Amino acid sequence: MSAAIETDVVIIGAGPVGLFAVFELGLLDIKCHLIDILPMAGGQCAELYPEKPIYDIPGHPTVTGQGLVDRLLEQSEPFKPTFHYGEMVEAIEVLGDGSAPLFRLRTDIGKTITCKAVVIAAGGGSFQPKKPPIPGIEAYEGTSVHYAVRKMEAFRDKHVVVVGGGDSALDWTLNLQPLAKRMTLVHRRDDFRAAPHSVNAMRDLVASGQMDLAIGQITGLDGADGHLSAVDLKGADSSVSRIACERLIPFFGLTMKLGPIANWGLNLTENLVAVDTEKFETSTPGIFAIGDINSYPGKLKLILSGFHEGALAAQRIHRYVYPEKRLTFQYTTSSTSLQRKLGVA
């Protein structure tokens, strides 16, 4: 299914820098759509360290990752950005030229968006599930090895092995246990990060013999033609045992990969997108890169650098979106027109 959308700017990445770019572009009457592979805004701040304090945001002696994201969402709210969560931009087609850029973006679910400028604010890249270092695991991916549960029915009457000690691992262990022929949870230590009530529920099922808990790390897979039959488990004492397994679901958290951005024909420097320091524009006019994803002499990977980069990029983007209009620089403290846009005047 595909829906054709038209807008001024698409921002790839809804982390702190992408969110602040909505604000800076909004002040210049530029409408934005944001696309992020995560199911929520905030990027690394929300996914990696929501509870951890950040001490180097100007004007905030201390703010948590999630706290900063919440405030940035509030700040960009007057400009009504549209969010597309759980999607990744796969391809960018260049339709215009350097004087009048126009792009068509396609996401991994087939959605297309046409826009006059693209802002890549993708941080460390897109979050993807980490794969355990088990030799030959690729041969079973999609058939017997899954990094997320899409349809529970696919696990009915199967020997299921879930790996991990966090909430995802425990929640899916408990959800799939009633369906599975036999459920085994594998974790490297007998101590779990997951919520205590799910850990207790799992231990009750183990105590009553309704599922198994195995402490150790999976070192090998056995099967044929993409169909798994057993896994090898190396215990804490280095002894290896074999567990029947037709479906393996490893939950090893997420990692960041540059992903499709590498294929968009942009000049890259050590896996980062090269930009100038006047407009933060890439080698393709109309495509900008701000925040941790970009590279230029003297670059510092700080959130505040990304804010600055977004403000400067917005100035050039205004010229692409409104080629006929002259941009007059204004302050939010004194400009009634800016204050009206913010809904405070």
Partner 1 sequence: MPSITFIDSKGTSRVIDAEVGSTVMETAIRHKVPEIVAECGGACACATCHVYVDEAFMPIVGKPQAMEEDMLDFAYDVKPNSRLSCQIKVTAALDGLTITTPDRQG
Write out the residues near partner 1 by the rule CB under 8 A: 44, 48-49, 52, 124, 130, 132-133, 164-166, 187-189, 191, 193, 217, 252-253, 255-256, 301
Mind giving me the DSSP string for 232-299?
Answer: EEE-TTS-EEEEE-SEEEE---EEEE-GGGGGS---EETTEEE--TTT-B-SSTTEEE-GGGEE-TT-
Question: Which CB atom, from 226 or from 253, has the smaller least distance to partner 1?
Answer: 253
State which residue, 193 or 325, has the beta carbon closest to partner 1: 193
39 is written with which tokens? 């199911």
Q: Coil, helix or strand for 113? A: strand
CB of residue 192 to partner 1, shortest distance in Å: 9
In the three-class reduction of DSSP (H, G, I as helix; E, B as strand; rest coil), residue 146 is classed as coil
Q: How far is the CB of 292 from partner 1 (least distance, A)?
A: 10
Q: How far is the CB of 163 from partner 1 (least distance, A)?
A: 10
| Inter-residue contact 174 to 195 (CB < 8 Å) | no
Residue with tokens 């959605």: 111
For residue 174, which amino acid is it? L
Pick between residue 48 and residue 201 the one whose CB is nearest to partner 1: 48
Instruction: Output the CA torsion sign for 99, 100, 106, 107.
Output: positive
Q: Are 122 and 287 in contact (CB under 8 A)?
A: no
Question: Least distance (Å) from partner 1 to the CB of residue 170?
Answer: 12
Closest distance between partner 1 and the C-beta of residue 130, in Å? 5
